[in-house]
Structure 1
Amino acid sequence: MQGMSQGSSDGTLFTRSYTFFLAGRFCAVLASTSQAVVIAWEVYETARQTMSVVEASFVVGMIGLVQFLPLFGLALVAGETADRHDRRVILRLCYLGQLVTSAALAIRSEFSGGLWPIFALAALFGCARAFFQPAASALGPMLVSSHLLPRAIATNSLVAQVANISGPALGGVLCAVSPVLGYVVSVGLYAAAVVCMSLIRANTRPDTQPGRSRAAQIKEGLAYVWGNKLVLGAISLDMFAVLLGGATGLLPVFARDILHVGPEGFGVLRGAPAIGALLTAGVLSIRPIRRHIGLKMFAAVAMFGLMTLAFGYSRSFPLSVACLAVLGAADMVSVFTRQSLVQIVTPDRMRGRVSAVSTLFIGASNELGEFESGVAARFLGPVGAVVFGGAGALAVTGLWVWLFPSLRRADRLVSDPVHQ
């Protein structure tokens, strides 16, 4: 396959192009995660001026919905685009779009433009993100050799988790000084990501099948995901577990009105899951999971649900941080397994479309999960919403063990060179 031919022939993971790819991803994730903290805090602070805690929690949850709707509408088209056009160019355009969005958020914040402009700009950000993820997931494997792909996936996750740790903490400090400063820093980081994409010199244009319509290409990708029960089971388990168990959408509420730790503590809470994920990704980059991957994935998702429950009941800031860190570690195991299954077993010419379906599932679990948390908080209160979500994640895990026996019995990743 063309995508596998772009990697280094000497077995070196960090080729020049892959290094620039990782650097660009780091800058972009750092920008998006720090900006997410600034947006959430600014929205909650603004809403609390005229609303109760419960009503303001619902407004914060709406941010996830407005980012999910563009993802839902554009994901399949974005996947087909990533399989037809130069993936490096697509990523560069996505970073430029996010840069413009950050600049507009800074202007709105400087002139106190109210809440509605934030939601409009969050929707535009969701449009750029819809095209970003399929292109990024399909581009990475083109830059490394096939036998290095499991390590590349873990290293890519490691880089992202470093940014995920740094971003929320950075965002908490910046928004404590000024939300405008937080948005301006994001603009600079996105500009750096654009430069990194421009420095990639490898051939990043996928193999295409001329003459096939866009609808036929999308249908082929959907059929592949539906027919591969390992992939379908992995991405749907992740979606429903995080959709129900995601507590991040309500962290501003816990930081301000339950744990009373302010914006700095909010940044720590947002970064705690990434700390656990970082440590786990570091281990996986050296020792990838090789045996009993299905059972380990189910165990990790169950632990995710348990830690969500514990966080909901906690009134201790250190205990809450610890619960979120373990939650992040468990989620990293699930993410590694899912990404490995999707990227390894999928042909390069279909990676964009299959990744788009995966992105749609995972985007639903993240952005739509924040909306679900906001709605649940409206009726159950913030604590009740988190506890309900944790219990739901555990229930989904048990149901998926029964619905997808092939995933439960999955033993080795098919590209493991030791066992092929």
Structure 2
Amino acid sequence: MTAPFSPLRGAFRSVWLLRGCSTLGSQLLAFALGLHLYQVSGSALDLGLLGLVQFVPSLAFALPAGQLVDRFAPGRIAMLAQLLNALAAGALLLPVPAGVSIVLVLYAAALATGATRAFEHPIHTALLPSVVAEGDVSRAVAWVTSVAKIGTMVGPIIGGALYAMAPEVAYGGALGLFIVAALLAATLPGRSEKLAQLSGLRAAFAGLHVIWRDRVLGGAMLLDMLAVLLGGATALLPIYALDVLRVGPVELGFLRAAPGIGAVAVGVWLTYRPVARRVGTVLLSATAVFGALTVAFGLSRSLPLSLVLLAAIGGADMVSIHIRSALVQLRTPAELRGRVGAVNGIFISSSNQIGAFESGLTAYWFGTVPAIVLGGAATVAAVGVIAMLVAPLRRTDDIHTVTSIARQRR
């Protein structure tokens, strides 16, 4: 008889703490980088380029990162990634050499952390099934996703407090967290068995092949991508707060935190009651609720109501993340988890970036409120289309008994 799942026992504890430390460290560093850059350059363009500098390497290295994670122990790859993050944070604590612009140093740190970001999804996709039993993956996903959401939520608050003391204090805090994360990754076990490996171009695009063949995985990722692309109301929060609700920066801070609070609350619930049955229906329903709540948020003129709606949006999104992450890990062959995780990361990163651009463009064309309302309505419509076109996703029931095409044909 196997022992019941516990988040504070065995290798999973290290995985959970690793995710928390790495997420919080990344949030501290990202906050300090952005504010420091704007203070020294005073250029909104420089600030925009900072995001591009981080996005390009994360996209360029995504597929190679998936191959490396599948070939070597994901814990060792995670340790190296966290050490590179630590080097980037540590470099910002050193005096800037004469004749070198601080802006270039900040961009170099952003470039390094953007490269390590490419490894995030492959590592965590491969790690969880290697440290917990298959029947516990869904619950483990909820624990790991919740701690990441907590880090995302409190990171800017802690980063602001540390940066107020001095930028070096924020960079030092990030450095310490990255070192702890690297030490935790070093304690994770290596591979217990040698997995079959592909070679050449077939290996590079194996993750894409799995998702293309598996309509459940492909449908789930397409659903998430469309929801983020079309329903990205959070990208317009500064405009919404100032021009629609007519509130100040303090209220804007609460609006930004509200989705994270809702996500953490639902995430804690899912650690005890993970979605295990009728997962396709629940995934489609949660995404439709996400779109409908976005429409309601766009129409709201009350700060308390808007806060509640944003928290509910974050909760609905958490259900979607929980199911999609569990599907990716359970339906993917062990030797391909890194590469499928890399493709999933590309979907998420691209949709976040392009979704923010789409929201800004539609707000410029139609106005802030119509952009939010139209985006939410389009999300609901997209759910209906995918539900009709991707029947295997709609019919998926027990999350622990589904088997991917790739596994069936091995």
> TM-score range with shorter-chain normalisation?
0.7 to 0.9
Summarize the Cα distance change of 1:106–1:381 in structure 2 as closer, same or farther, 3 Å threshold.
farther
Q: Which moved more, 1:184-193 or 1:137-146?
A: 184-193
Give me the CA root mean square deviation: 3.4
Summarize the Cα distance change of 1:18–1:313 in structure 2 as closer, same or farther, 3 Å threshold.
same
Cα distance in 2 for residues equivalent to 1:377 and 1:215? 41
Unmatched 5+ residue regions in structure 2?
403-410
SS at match of 1:83: helix
Asked whether the 8 Å contact 2:258–2:314 carries over to 1, the reply is yes
Query: Percent identical across equivalent pairs?
Result: 36
Q: Which moved more, 1:145-154 or 1:180-189?
A: 180-189
2:138 to 150, 154, 167: 150
Structure 2 letter corresponding to 1:23: L
Measured against aligned partners, the alpha-carbon deviations of 1:284-327 in whole angstroms (never above 9, x if no partner) come to 11112233222221121122223333444445443332222111
SS at match of 2:118: helix
Structure 1 letter corresponding to 2:69: A
Cα distance in 2 for residues equivalent to 1:282 and 1:192? 24
How much has 1:94 moved relative to structure 2? 1.3
Asked whether the 8 Å contact 2:134–2:400 carries over to 1, the reply is no
Q: Which moved more, 1:346-355 or 1:179-188?
A: 179-188
Asked whether the 8 Å contact 2:138–2:276 carries over to 1, the reply is no
SS at match of 1:414: coil
How much has 1:19 moved relative to structure 2? 0.8
Q: Which residue of 2 aligns with 1:304?
A: 290
Q: Which residue of 2 aligns with 1:287?
A: 273
Cα distance in 1 for residues equivalent to 2:256 and 2:247? 15
Q: Which residue of 1 aligns with 2:196?
A: 209
1:169 to 152, 157, 161: 157
Summarize the Cα distance change of 1:68–1:134 in structure 2 as closer, same or farther, 3 Å threshold.
same
Asked whether the 8 Å contact 2:38–2:46 carries over to 1, the reply is yes
Q: Does 1:27 align with 2:3?
A: no
Structure 1 letter corresponding to 2:79: R
Asked whether the 8 Å contact 2:121–2:344 carries over to 1, the reply is no
What TM-score do you get using the length of structure 2 for normalisation? 0.84
Q: Does 1:336 align with 2:330?
A: no
Pairing 1:11-410 to 2, within 5 Å after superposition? 11-14=4-7, 15-39=9-33, 64-103=51-90, 121-175=109-163, 180-200=168-188, 202-204=189-191, 207-209=194-196, 212-254=198-240, 259-262=246-249, 265-377=251-363, 379-380=365-366, 385-410=371-396
Structure 2 letter corresponding to 1:135: I
Q: Which residue of 2 aligns with 1:53?
A: none
Measured against aligned partners, the alpha-carbon deviations of 1:19-48 in whole angstroms (never above 9, x if no partner) come to 11111111111222344445556677889x
Summarize the Cα distance change of 1:362–1:17 in structure 2 as closer, same or farther, 3 Å threshold.
same
Asked whether the 8 Å contact 1:11–1:145 carries over to 2, the reply is no
Measured against aligned partners, the alpha-carbon deviations of 1:96-135 in whole angstroms (never above 9, x if no partner) come to 22233344567799x9968776555434322111022201
Cα distance in 1 for residues equivalent to 2:93 and 2:361? 28
Aligned positions, number:
398
Summarize the Cα distance change of 1:113–1:267 in structure 2 as closer, same or farther, 3 Å threshold.
farther
Cα distance in 1 for residues equivalent to 2:107 and 2:366? 24
